[in-house]
Amino acid sequence: MNKINIIELKNIEKNYTVGTEIVRALRSVDLTVKAGEFLAIMGASGSGKSTLLNILGCLDKPTSGDYWLDGKNVNSLKKNQLADIRNTKIGFVFQSYNLLPRTTALENVELPLLYNSSISNKLRREKAEYALKAVGLADRMKHLSNQMSGGQQQRVAIARSLVNDPVIILADEATGNLDTKTSYEIMSLFQELNESGITIGFVTHEPDIAEFTKRNIVFRDGRLIKDVSVKNRSSAQLALDELKEEEILLENVEDADLVFAHLNLLLKYVISSTNVFCWARNLQYIFGRYLNRKKHSLDMTNSKFKNLFVIRLSFPALLGIKATKITDFR
Amino acid sequence: MNILNLIKVATAAIKRNKTRSFLTMLGIIIGVASVIVMLAIGEGSNASIREQISSMGTNLINVMPKSERRGGVQQGRSMSQTLVVSDVEYLQNNCDLIKAVSPEVKSGGQVIYGSNNWPTQIFSGNEEYTYIKKYDIAEGRIFNSQEIKSSAKVCLIGQTVVDNLFGDDVDPIGQNIRFNKIPFKVIGVLKEKGDNTFGQDQDDIVLAPYTTVMKRITRQIYLQTIVMSARSEDVIEKASTQVEEAMRLSHKLKDTEENDFEIRTQQELISTFGSISEMMIVLLGSISTISLIVGGIGIMNIMYVSVTERTREIGLRLAVGGKEKDILMQFLLEAILLSVIGGIIGIVLGIVSSQTVENIMGWPILITSDAILISFLFCSFIGVFFGWYPARKASALDPIEALRHE
């Protein structure tokens, strides 16, 4: 396939001077992103991923190196020209949504187009409405931003990033402030948008979120150390469905039904699941927890613990997603 | 961003924080309202002083004898004896800028009718006296030249005298009254005029031919004042010079000699009293200007806080393609809108409270369009001046830093 390069970075360096010390935030980074990619930029904090995002988003200029965005070298551009590039070629999604408070969803989405004088009032309204429909908020256009849930606010922010038909959407920890379920919803939306041909750059430090993208690049100390395409990409929609099932179960299970529910699901998954290893690890985890509780002579009938028991044995598939979380318990 | 969108964005930002916007405007509202009220009071009193002074006469010019020193003692004006009836005739014949001239002689005394009596002043002049001094005749007539020539004992009386001498059922016209034992026949009643600027009752007057008063009451050939009307308000000053020259000729003064008379015009009187109220206007105006400036500083203060508070919003605007200029204009426009809206509210409030002052305190009020225009322009200026610095600060923010701001 011969797709155009949306982003082409050649030997990008970025140095900051903090006091008398020079911090090398990015060291000779080369990166090419083609149209239609879904890229996760990963790394610990201070690894340079945010710096890279700022440079990609034309908010910052590299100390040296070349950057072509949509075939145009942006190194030589002045402040105002960069503002125009941001206005027409890039969509931003932030961790904390950054919506205007006490302003309707529609007006928030219209914002980038206000700064583009070639777009008429009518077209602006149409585009904003279209973008909001695309993120599934057709019925909430007139709602004020502060009357919305976090997930809805992030949807509005995504609509805002879409509204100017950008060549790439750059998201900075877009799921960082959201709970697991909403995170999956947002990732599902991103996947959907990506399927429709939109290029997305996604900064995250959560590996399970990165699993939903197509390509992961990892930074450490300003260097790009790993660039892998994701095999067996998880579907956020599927993960979401499972999560919902889990939730429904948690709500409905009574203490007395526990054993039946457990056996039922156990049977179902033992038969259907190919991932027996995962299941075994779940068993081991719960056993660990059991011993731990016994050691500290804690109440064994604690319903939370019981539910955990059910979930862990019933949904071995979840383990793949929650691998990091399990290590947290140890 | 075009200007229409900018205005939309700025008004949206103001609407988003209604309480804060109102509090910000409050300084300007109070400032403008106080400017309007102060100027209205100042201008009102100024206008009423002018009106009162001009009610004292029609384009009035007075010639008075110069007070003299005798052996080092300054004498009162009435002691000087330099003005005579021939001066009046000379002025009548030689000053084309003067419309009417009359001698004036006055004296105090007791006026008696039947069993009533009343202390008053007798004024005297020729048949043009009422025109010059802006007296209207309510009933009857003024004495004619025949009566002046013959020193007829006729008089007109003011309303205060009428009230004190005659009962309600008596028609004063044709009655005989006595002033200092000299009988006068009342031939007319003067229309009520009220107090003058100095608080004198202008209706407490008996008006008789000057010949009669000079012969029977003051027993002098000298006049106390020569009163006259200039042809129009514009020529008062020229007329006054003409009168001065004519008087010097009439008195046959040599070039080296000083004037033995003094000329007072109404305009001088107005400017004397005018300067007092001008001073008052300046004083009141400057106090309220200070409050306007304080209001402006209030706007700057709030805008400054608002920039800090809205750092993320600014960062977002920069990130989605806002240019420095757009941010600067937005915040500047917000400040201007705040002060202009505040100004308009202030003007309305000022007009309303001026009317209230007029109704409650009874002070004369004059709201000039100048005052409104000036305070409005001043508000806009304050908006630009005090809005500039916070707007500058907002536009200079680094988008990355601004987005990260907590």
* Interchain CB distance below 8 Å, B12 and A59: no
Edge-first strand listing for the sheet containing A90-93: A90-93, A168-172, A199-203, A38-43, A215-220, A223-229
Distance CA A57, CA A54 (A): 5
Instruction: Give the per-residue pLDDT at B352.
Output: 94
Say yes or no for a CB contact (<8 Å) between B400 and A160.
no
Q: Taking a C-beta distance cutoff of 8 angstroms, is the pair A17, A193 a contact?
A: no
Chain A residue with the nearest C-alpha to that of B5: A114
SS3 per-residue string spanning A159-217 = HHHHCCCCCEEEEECCCCCCCHHHHHHHHHHHHHHHHCCCEEEEECCCHHHHCCCCEEE
pLDDT value at residue B71: 66
Taking only the tens place, the pLDDT of each residue in B225-282 is 999 998 888 888 889 999 999 999 888 888 888 888 888 888 777 777 777 778 888 8
pLDDT tens digits, one per residue of B362-396: 888 888 888 889 888 888 888 888 889 999 999 99
Q: Are A298 and A203 members of one domain? A: no
Domain-embedded: residue A260: yes
Interchain CB contacts (distance < 8 Å): A and B: 63
Tokens of B406: 């907590």
Q: Residue B83: what pLDDT?
A: 86
Mean pLDDT over B287-307 rounds to 85
φ, ψ dihedrals at B30, nearest 5°? -65, -40
Residue type at A84 in one-letter notation: D
* Whole-angstrom distance, CA of residue B248 vs CA of residue B288: 50
Q: Is A240 within a domain?
A: no
In a domain, A47, yes or no: yes
- Cα of A95 to nearest chain B Cα, Å: 10
Contacts of B323 in chain A (CB under 8 A): 79-80, 83, 115
In this complex, do B321 and A160 lie within 8 Å of one another by their Cβ atoms? Answer: no
Q: Which residues of A touch B400 (CB under 8 A)?
A: 54, 59-60
Contacts of B363 (CB under 8 A, 6+ apart): B41, B44, B45, B357
Number of domains in chain A: 2
| Same domain, residue pair A183 and A122 | yes
Residue A281 forms part of a structural domain: yes
pLDDT of residue A55: 93
Test mutation, B4, B9, B320, B395, chain A, max A CBs within 10 A: B320
Q: Quick: pLDDT tens for B50-82.
A: 777 777 777 889 898 887 666 666 666 555 678
Q: What are the tokens at B402?
A: 């601004």
Nearest chain B residue to A82, by CA: B321
Residue A69 domain flag: no
Same domain, A109 and A230: yes
Residue A83 is predicted with a pLDDT of 93
Instruction: Please tell me the predicted confidence (pLDDT) of residue B77.
Output: 57
Task: Determine, yes or no, domain membership for A24.
Answer: no
**pLDDT recorded at residue A236:** 82
Give chain B's mean pLDDT. 87
* Percent of residues, chain B, with pLDDT higher than 70: 96
A84: closest chain B residue by CA: B321
| Inter-chain CB proximity B317 and A88 less than 8 Å | no
Same domain, A54 and A130: yes
How far apart (Å, rounded) are the C-alpha atoms in residues A60 and B313? 18
Nearest to A177 by CA among A77, A286, A99, A294: A99
pTM of the model: 0.70
Kindly state the percentage of chain B with pLDDT values over 90: 27
The distance of B314 to chain A (nearest Cα, Å) reads 10
Last residue within a domain, chosen from A235, A263, A286: A235
Instruction: Report the candidate in B146, B143, B111 with the shortest Cα–Cα distance to residue B128.
Output: B143
Residue B28 CB neighbour total at 10 angstroms: 31
Q: Are A257 and A222 members of one domain?
A: no
Interface of A with B (CB under 8 A): 54, 57, 59-60, 79-80, 83-84, 86-88, 92, 94, 96, 98, 100-103, 107, 111-112, 114-117, 160, 164
Q: How far apart are CA B129 and CA B101, in angstroms?
A: 8
Chain A residues with beta carbon closer than 8 angstroms to that of B1: 114-115, 117
Tell me the C-alpha to C-alpha distance, in Å, between residue B261 and each of B97, B224, B252. 19, 11, 13
Chain B hits for A111, CB-CB cut-off 8 Å, are: 316-317, 320
Tokens, residue B265: 């015009």
Strand runs labelled E in A187-329: 199-203, 215-220, 223-229
Task: Please give the residue range of the domain that contains residue A322.
Answer: 253-329
Complex ipTM > 0.90: no
pLDDT of residue A301: 58
Do residue A181 and residue A263 come from a single domain? no
Give me the residue from B12, B318, B324 closest to A103, CB to CB. Answer: B12
Contact predicate B198/B53, CB 8 Å: no
Examine the fold and report which residue of A182, A208, A235 is the final residue of a domain before the chain moves on: A235
Give me the pLDDT at residue B75, please: 65
Q: Do A153 and A261 belong together in one domain? A: no
CB < 8 Å to A92, chain B? 319-320
CB contact set of A227 (below 8 Å; sequence gap of 6+): A215, A216, A217, A218
pLDDT of residue A320: 44
In a domain, A22, yes or no: no
Closest residue to A115, CB basis, from B313, B321, B399 = B321
Q: A284-293 burial by CB neighbour count: b if 16+ within 10 A, else e?
A: ebbeebeeee
Q: Is A204 a domain residue?
A: yes
Residues of chain A with pLDDT under 70: 1-3, 246-330
Q: Are residues A227 and A325 in the same domain?
A: no
CB contact under 8 A, A60 and B321: no
Quick one: A219 and A132 in the same domain? yes
- Show me where the domains of chain B are located: 3-52+272-404, 83-259
Span B307-327, average pLDDT: 91
- Single residue among A190, A206, A235 that ends a domain in this structure: A235
Contact A112 B320 (CB under 8 A): yes
- Out of A87, A101, A103, the one facing B320 most closely (by C-beta) is A87
> Residue A155's Cα: distance from chain center in Å?
12
Lay out the sheet containing A72-73: strands in order across.
A21-34, A5-18, A64-69, A72-73
Please say whether the beta carbons of B210 and B124 come within 8 A: yes
Kindly report the number of other CB atoms within 10 A of residue A48's CB atom.
Answer: 25
